[in-house]
C-alpha cells in the first residue's frame, strides 16, 4: 500500500479509540518484550558483546556494500542462479513480472517479505493477470482483508481470533458454515488446507531474504511455519526479492546476526526453519526450483549509504524497536501509514518515501530512547529521527507557524535578561487566567497541551528573581 503518513494525527487518534486494536496491543509485552528479555538472560555470554559484534558486522558490510554485492552476484551466478538489479520499486516490479511471464506462471506463492510490501508488488502482479498468494499465516490473513502489515514480524498483530474467523468465512468458499473455527488450531488447520492447494498449484514462489552471503551466493530466510520452504522448493521458479543492504561477507557473519535476530524478534534461540538458498536444484537434489532468481532492490538505499543516516541500513528487521516503543504500544502499526512502522519506520521511511509524505513520523516519538537501547545492531534511532526533524525544519516540510514561533522564542532565549522579563510577563498573564485555581484550563497558544491536560499555574515570582532578592 502506498505510503502516506500525512494523516498521522487523525489516524493515531482513531487507533487510540479502536477497541480491537487496543486489545491486541496489550499482548506486546508478554508476546515480545518478556520473551526477548528471557532470551537475552539465557544467552551464555553478555548479550551486549553480541550486539556489538552484530553492529560491527553490519557497519563494515555497508562500508563495502558495492564489492559485496558484486561478489554475491558472481557466486550466485556460479551456483546457477540469476541476479537482477532494480534501481527502484517500478524496476523491481517489472523484473519480477518479466521473470514470471517468461516462466509462464499463473499462481505465485509468497513467503513473508517486507520488501515486496515496500515495492507494492502484489497489486502489480494482479494487474498483470497473476495470482499472488501470501503463505505466511499473518500475511495471508491481511491479504484476505486487503490490509498492510501492522508489524514487520507479526503482520496480523492487530487482529483478534474472531476477526480471522470472519475473514475466512467471507473468503473461503469451500468452508462449511457448520464447521467450528472457535480456536486457534482450527483456524490454522483451515488456512493450511487452503494454502496446501495453492502450494500444489503454484508455478513460482517469491520470498524475501533476511541475509545474503557474499562468499557463497546464498540467501537466508527464517520462518516458523514452514511456508517459506514450500514456497521456495515446490514451484519451478523461485524468486528472492530483497534489499541491497542485506548482504554480509561470510556465512559466519550471518550466523552472528541470526543469533541476534531470532532472540530480538520472538525470543527464540532459533526459528523453526532457517533456510539457506544458494541456487536452483542440482542433479541428484531431492527437490528445489529449476530456476533461481535474486532481485536486488535499491529503491533509495544507495542514497542512504552515503548520507548522515546510513546506520538505518544496519537494520535486520527484528521488530524489537516497535515492540518496546511506547508510541507504537498505544497506536499500533497502521496509524504510521507507511510500510515500516514504529521507530524503524520513523528513521527509514523519510529516506525511502521522502519527507513530504512522512514528515510526521520522525516527530511521532517522545525520544525516550528505548528503541535504540534494545536494537540488536545498535542503530542510533533517535539521532536519525533528529536528523529528519532537522531536514523538516530546514526545508519547511511542512510549512508551519510553529517553526516561526520557535525562531522567535530562540531569538529571545539567546538574550537571557530579555527572556526572563518576557517569561515573567507571560507567567503573570497565565496567573491571571488561572484565577483562584491552581491550574490553567486553556490558552490561546499551545492548544495541543490543553486538548488533553491542564497546566499548573506559574509561580508568583521566578526562582531566579527570588534568588537575586535573597542574595
Partner 1 sequence: MIERPRVGLLVTCLADLFRPQVGFAAVKLLEQAGCDVEVPAQSCCGQPAYNAGDAKDATALARNVIATFAPFDYVVVPSGSCGGMVKVHYPKLLADDPVWGPRADALAAKTHELFSFLVNVRGMKSVQATCRADAAYHDSCSSLREMTVGPEPRLLLKSVDGLNLHDLAEKETCCGFGGFFSVKYPEVSARMADDKIADAKRTGADTLLAGDLGCLLHLAGRISRKNVPLRVRHAAEVLAGMSDTPAIGEDSK
Which residues of this chain interact with partner 1, rule CB under 8 A? 9, 12-13, 16, 326-327, 329-331, 363-370, 373, 386, 388-394, 402-403, 406-407, 409-411, 413-417, 419-420, 423-424, 427, 436-439, 446-449, 451-464, 466-467
Contact at 8 Å (CB) between 173 and 179? Answer: no
Query: 108 - beta bridge partners?
Result: 132, 204
By DSSP bridging, strand 204-207 and strand 211-213 are: unpaired
Please identify, using beta-carbon distances, which residue of 243 and 380 lies nearer to partner 1: 380
| Cell numbers at 323, concatenated | 515492540
The number of residues in the chain equals 471
Minimal distance, residue 397 CB to partner 1, in Å? 10
By DSSP bridging, strand 204-207 and strand 291-297 are: unpaired
Distance CA 150, CA 162 (A): 17
| Cell numbers at 329, concatenated | 504500544
Contact at 8 Å (CB) between 316 and 58? Answer: yes
By DSSP bridging, strand 211-213 and strand 237-243 are: unpaired
| Cell numbers at 67, concatenated | 564489492
Minimal distance, residue 9 CB to partner 1, in Å? 6
Which residues neighbour 460 within 8 Å (Cβ) at sequence distance 6 or greater? 431
Which residues neighbour 154 within 8 Å (Cβ) at sequence distance 6 or greater? 31, 138, 319
Minimal distance, residue 431 CB to partner 1, in Å? 10
Minimal distance, residue 415 CB to partner 1, in Å? 8
Cβ of 356: how many Cβ atoms within 10 Å? 14
Please identify, using beta-carbon distances, which residue of 67 and 461 lies nearer to partner 1: 461
H or E, element range at 9: helix 8-16
Q: CB pairs under 8 A, 24+ apart, for 36-39?
A: 36/263, 36/264, 36/265, 36/266, 36/267, 36/320, 36/323, 36/374, 37/267, 38/267, 39/263, 39/267, 39/268, 39/269
Minimal distance, residue 67 CB to partner 1, in Å? 30
Which residues neighbour 329 within 8 Å (Cβ) at sequence distance 6 or greater? 25, 28
Minimal distance, residue 454 CB to partner 1, in Å? 4
Please identify, using beta-carbon distances, which residue of 357 and 360 lies nearer to partner 1: 360
Distance CA 292, CA 281 (A): 9
Minimal distance, residue 447 CB to partner 1, in Å? 8
Please identify, using beta-carbon distances, which residue of 7 and 146 lies nearer to partner 1: 7
| Cell numbers at 189, concatenated | 488447520
Cβ of 323: how many Cβ atoms within 10 Å? 27
Please identify, using beta-carbon distances, which residue of 64 and 400 lies nearer to partner 1: 400
Minimal distance, residue 414 CB to partner 1, in Å? 5
Please identify, using beta-carbon distances, which residue of 282 and 421 lies nearer to partner 1: 421
Please identify, using beta-carbon distances, which residue of 286 and 452 lies nearer to partner 1: 452
- Look at residues 143, 140, 172, 138 and name the one whose alpha carbon lies nearest to residue 155: 138
| Cell numbers at 57, concatenated | 558486522
Longest dimension (CA), the chain: 92
Please identify, using beta-carbon distances, which residue of 70 and 429 lies nearer to partner 1: 429
What dihedral angle (degrees, nearest 10) is formed by the CA atoms of 255, 258, 260, 266? -160
Query: 291 - beta bridge partners?
Result: 237
Minimal distance, residue 442 CB to partner 1, in Å? 11
Please identify, using beta-carbon distances, which residue of 316 and 371 lies nearer to partner 1: 371
Please identify, using beta-carbon distances, which residue of 64 and 366 lies nearer to partner 1: 366
| Cell numbers at 123, concatenated | 497489486
Minimal distance, residue 361 CB to partner 1, in Å? 11
Minimal distance, residue 12 CB to partner 1, in Å? 5
Please identify, using beta-carbon distances, which residue of 188 and 446 lies nearer to partner 1: 446
Amino acid at each position: 500500500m502506498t505510503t502516506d503518513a500525512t494523516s498521522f494525527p487523525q489516524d493515531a487518534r482513531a487507533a487510540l479509540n479502536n477497541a480491537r486494536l487496543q486489545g491486541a496491543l496489550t499482548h506486546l509485552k508478554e508476546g515480545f518484550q518478556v520473551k526477548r528479555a528471557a532470551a537475552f538472560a539465557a544467552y551464555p555470554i553478555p548479550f551486549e558483546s553480541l550486539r556489538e559484534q552484530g553492529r560491527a558486522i553490519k557497519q563494515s558490510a555497508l562500508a563495502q556494500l558495492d564489492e559485496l554485492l558484486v561478489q554475491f552476484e558472481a557466486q550466485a551466478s556460479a551456483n546457477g542462479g540469476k541476479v537482477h538489479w532494480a534501481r527502484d520499486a517500478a524496476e523491481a516490479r517489472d523484473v519480477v513480472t518479466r521473470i514470471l511471464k517468461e516462466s509462464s506462471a499463473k499462481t505465485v506463492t509468497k513467503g513473508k517479505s517486507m520488501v515486496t510490501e515496500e515495492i507494492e508488488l502484489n497489486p502489480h502482479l494482479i494487474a498483470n493477470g497473476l495470482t499472488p498468494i501470501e503463505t505466511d499465516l499473518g500475511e495471508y490473513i491481511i491479504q484476505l482483508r486487503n490490509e498492510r502489515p501492522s508489524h514487520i514480524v507479526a503482520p496480523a498483530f492487530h487482529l483478534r481470533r474472531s476477526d480471522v474467523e470472519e475473514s475466512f468465512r467471507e473468503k473461503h468458499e469451500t468452508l462449511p458454515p457448520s464447521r467450528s473455527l472457535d480456536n486457534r488450531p482450527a483456524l490454522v488447520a483451515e488456512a493450511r488446507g487452503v494454502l496446501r492447494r495453492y502450494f500444489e498449484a503454484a508455478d513460482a514462489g517469491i520470498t524475501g531474504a533476511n541475509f545474503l552471503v557474499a562468499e557463497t551466493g546464498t540467501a537466508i530466510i527464517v520462518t516458523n511455519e514452514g511456508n517459506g520452504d514450500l514456497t521456495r522448493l515446490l514451484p519451478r521458479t523461485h524468486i528472492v526479492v530483497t534489499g541491497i543492504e542485506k548482504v554480509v561477507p561470510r556465512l559466519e557473519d550471518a550466523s552472528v546476526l541470526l543469533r541476534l535476530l531470532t532472540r530480538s524478534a520472538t525470543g527464540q534461540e532459533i526459528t523453526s526453519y532457517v533456510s539457506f538458498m544458494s541456487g536452483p536444484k542440482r542433479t541428484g537434489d531431492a527437490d528445489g526450483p529449476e530456476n533461481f532468481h535474486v532481485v536486488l532492490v535499491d529503491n533509495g538505499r544507495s542514497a542512504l549509504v552515503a548520507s548522515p543516516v546510513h546506520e538505518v541500513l544496519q537494520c535486520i528487521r527484528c521488530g524489537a524497536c516497535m515492540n518496546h516503543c511506547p508510541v507504537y504500544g498505544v497506536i499500533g502499526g497502521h496509524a504510521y501509514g507507511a510500510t515500516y512502522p514504529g521507530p524503524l519506520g520513523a528513521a527509514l521511511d523519510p529516506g525511502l518515501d521522502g519527507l513530504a509524505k512522512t514528515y510526521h513520523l520522525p516527530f511521532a516519538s517522545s525520544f525516550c530512547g528505548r528503541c535504540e537501547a534494545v536494537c540488536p545492531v545498535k542503530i542510533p534511532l533517535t539521532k536519525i529521527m533528529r536528523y529528519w526533524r532537522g531536514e523538516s525544519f530546514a526545508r519547511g516540510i511542512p510549512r508551519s507557524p510553529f517553526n516561526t514561533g520557535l525562531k522567535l522564542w530562540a531569538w529571545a532565549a539567546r538574550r537571557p535578561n530579555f527572556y526572563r522579563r518576557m517569561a515573567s510577563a507571560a507567567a503573570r498573564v497565565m496567573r491571571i487566567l488561572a484565577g483562584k485555581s491552581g491550574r490553567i484550563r486553556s490558552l490561546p497558544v499551545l492548544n495541543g497541551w490543553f486538548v488533553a491536560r491542564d497546566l499548573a499555574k506559574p509561580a508568583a515570582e521566578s526562582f531566579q528573581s527570588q534568588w537575586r532578592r535573597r542574595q
